[in-house]
Amino acid sequence: MKKISILILASIALISCNKNNDKANGYGNFEATEITVSSEANGKIDFLKVEEGDELKSDSQVGLVDTLQLHFAKQQLIASKSTISSKSANVISQKSVLQEQLKTAHLEKSRIHNMYVENAATKRQVDEIEGKVKVIEAQIKSVGTQNTPILNDLKSIDVQIAKINDQIAKSKIVNPINGTVLTKYAEPGEITAFGKPLYKIADISEMTLRIYVSEKHLSTIKVGQNVTVKIDAEKDMKSYQGTISWIASAAEFTPKIIQTKEERVNLVYAVKVKVKNDGSLKIGMPAEMWVQ
């Protein structure tokens, strides 16, 4: 009788333990937004101060692609612009001289007209001065027409210089975000090309846990809700505070990497949970979500 009582008590305790040992509400893996930094220029990499594991600041220059040929091309354009500018200055100088001549001709025209009114000048003199004024005006117009293509050439050179300045700026390898270098693809001295990957970086100070929850658990969670995230540790599971940032609006089949074959055919909803990283969380690490 005593043995039977002990067995009954043990069974009750086991059942009680099974009831308290609930399953997690969702399972998944940590991920982060990874950015592959690629070259925006062609040429030899002069330097690339990037190593795997380095923490880089946003907008900091970490490398440079050779810009010597671009520098020579820019200097050549500047010299051409100087030559063309001197032509324009010569045209403007001619126009100034003609404008002074036109002022003198207008004064002379006014004087001759007054003399003609007083019968002190002939009609021929009036015609000659009026013709002279028209000739000078035509010369000024002609000089202005000559300067137009020169000014267009100067604008074209300015555009080419701006283009080279943009290429020189893009030869600088600038880190886009605050983050940790995950992979390095190139080394100084190598020849790179536009679009060729140089390194991969991600901000892992805050990780995203993408999990999948069943429909029955969907009503217990909402965006902005605090949850507990657990990962495997040496002795017991390690817990983190997390916040749900996104819940899928449509169901999908459970990904093949999650759970057993039978559970993979179930419809689930994807959920993202933001978790502050203390250095222990890694990309791809499995974890569980527990609703508090």
What are the b/e assignments for 30-56, b being 16+ CB within 10 Å?
Answer: bbbeebebbbbbbbebeebebeeeeeb
Do 176 and 58 reside in the same domain of the chain? yes
End-to-end CA distance of the chain: 43
What share of the chain in percent tops pLDDT 90?
54
* pLDDT at residue 26 is higher than 70: yes
More confident residue, 58 or 142: 58
Q: Which domain holds residue 235?
A: 23-33+203-291
pLDDT at residue 195, rounded to an integer: 96
Averaged pLDDT score across all residues of the chain = 85
pLDDT at residue 137, rounded to an integer: 84
Mean local confidence (pLDDT), 199-221: 92
Do 152 and 213 reside in the same domain of the chain? no
* pLDDT at residue 136 is higher than 90: no
Do 183 and 228 reside in the same domain of the chain? no
More confident residue, 247 or 15: 247
Q: How does pLDDT run across 228-283, given as a tens digit for each residue?
A: 999 998 888 999 999 999 999 888 876 655 555 555 557 889 999 999 999 999 99
Mean local confidence (pLDDT), 73-93: 87
Number of domains in the chain: 3
Do 208 and 194 reside in the same domain of the chain? no
CATH of the domain at 50: 2.40.50.100
More confident residue, 109 or 262: 109
In a domain, 7, yes or no: no
The answer for residues whose C-beta is within 8 angstroms of residue 179's C-beta and 6 or more apart is 35, 55, 56, 201, 202, 203, 204
Mean local confidence (pLDDT), 16-20: 39
Do 108 and 130 reside in the same domain of the chain? yes
pLDDT at residue 130, rounded to an integer: 85
Do 210 and 276 reside in the same domain of the chain? yes
* pLDDT at residue 20 is higher than 70: no
Say which amino acid occupies 33: T
For 4, how many CA atoms within 13 A lie in the half-sphere containing its CB?
1
pLDDT at residue 4, rounded to an integer: 35
pTM above 0.75, yes or no: no
More confident residue, 91 or 196: 196
In a domain, 11, yes or no: no
In a domain, 110, yes or no: yes
* pLDDT at residue 61 is higher than 60: yes
